[in-house]
Amino acid sequence: MITADELRDRVREFLSHHDPGELDRLEFLRARFDAGLAWVHYPPGFGGLDAARALQPVVDEEFAAADAPDNDPRSNGIGLGMAAPTILQHGSDEQRHRFLRPLWTGEEVWCQLFSEPGAGSDLAALSTRAVRDGDDWVVDGQKVWTSLAHTARWALLVARTDPGVPKHRGLTYFVCDMTAPGVEVRPLRQITGEAEFNEVFFSGVRIPDSQRLGEVGQGWQVAMSTLMNERVAIGGGNTAREDGMIGVVADTWRQRPELRTPGMHDRLLRLWVEAEATRLTGERLRQQLAAGAPGPEGSAVKLAFARLNQSISGFETELLADEGLEYDDWTMRRPEVTDMTARGPGYRYLRAKGNSIEGGTSEVLRNVIAERVLGLPAEPRVDKDVAWKELPR
> Quick one: average pLDDT of 103-112?
97
pLDDT for the residue numbered 297: 67
Q: Helix 4-17 crosses helix 56-65 at what angle (to 10 degrees)? A: 40
pLDDT for the residue numbered 148: 92
Residue 128: count other Cβ atoms within 10 Å of its Cβ.
23
User: Does residue 104 contact residue 71 with C-beta atoms inside 8 Å?
Assistant: yes
User: Is residue 141's pLDDT more than 80?
Assistant: yes
Question: Exposed e or buried b for every residue in 282-303, given b needs 16+ CB within 10 A?
Answer: beebbebbeeeebebbbbbbbb
Residue 124, classed as helix, strand or coil, is helix
Sequence-separated (6 or more) residues with CB below 8 Å from residue 55? 2, 4, 7, 40, 41
CB-count exposure of residue 60 (10 Å: 0-12, 13-18, 19+): middle
Q: How far is CA 70 from CA 37, 105, 177, in A?
A: 12, 8, 26
In this prediction the pTM is 0.86
3-state helix, strand, coil in the chain (%, to 5): 50, 15, 40
Residue 225, classed as helix, strand or coil, is helix
pLDDT tens column, 334-382 = 877 777 888 899 999 999 998 888 877 888 889 888 888 888 998 888 8
Residue 139 CA to residue 141 CA, distance in Å, equals 7
Structure confidence at residue 229 as a pLDDT band (50, 70, 90):
confident
Query: Which of residues 250 and 296 earns the better pLDDT score?
Result: 250
pLDDT for the residue numbered 336: 73
Residue 21, classed as helix, strand or coil, is coil
The domain 223-373 having CATH identifier 3.30.70.920: the answer here is no
Residue 338 CA to residue 148 CA, distance in Å, equals 11
Residues of the chain with CATH 1.20.140.10: 223-373
Structure confidence at residue 384 as a pLDDT band (50, 70, 90):
confident
pLDDT for the residue numbered 166: 96
Mean pLDDT of the chain: 91
Structure confidence at residue 333 as a pLDDT band (50, 70, 90):
confident
pLDDT for the residue numbered 301: 82
- Identify the DSSP state of 344: -
Bridge-partner residues for 202, per DSSP? 141, 183
Least confident window among 69-78, 293-302, 358-367: 293-302
CB-count exposure of residue 29 (10 Å: 0-12, 13-18, 19+): buried
Sequence-separated (6 or more) residues with CB below 8 Å from residue 259? 252, 253, 319, 320, 321
Structure confidence at residue 271 as a pLDDT band (50, 70, 90):
very high
Sequence-separated (6 or more) residues with CB below 8 Å from residue 161? 129, 130, 131, 132, 137, 170, 171, 172, 216, 217, 219
Q: Which of 46, 55, 50, 54 is nearest to 5 (CA)?
A: 55
User: Is residue 109's pLDDT more than 90?
Assistant: yes
Sequence-separated (6 or more) residues with CB below 8 Å from residue 196? 147, 190, 333, 334, 335, 338
pLDDT for the residue numbered 232: 61
Residue 298 CA to residue 365 CA, distance in Å, equals 9
User: Is residue 291's pLDDT more than 60?
Assistant: no
pLDDT tens column, 239-265 = 788 988 999 999 999 999 999 999 999
Q: How far is CA 163 from CA 104, 125, 129, 170, in A?
A: 36, 10, 9, 6
Q: Which of 367, 239, 368 is nearest to 297 (CA)?
A: 368
User: Does residue 346 contact residue 328 with C-beta atoms inside 8 Å?
Assistant: yes
What fold is seen in the domain 110-216? Answer: Butyryl-CoA Dehydrogenase, subunit A; domain 2 (2.40.110)
CA gyration radius, the chain: 22
Residue 356 CA to residue 303 CA, distance in Å, equals 7
Residues of the chain with CATH 2.40.110.10: 110-216
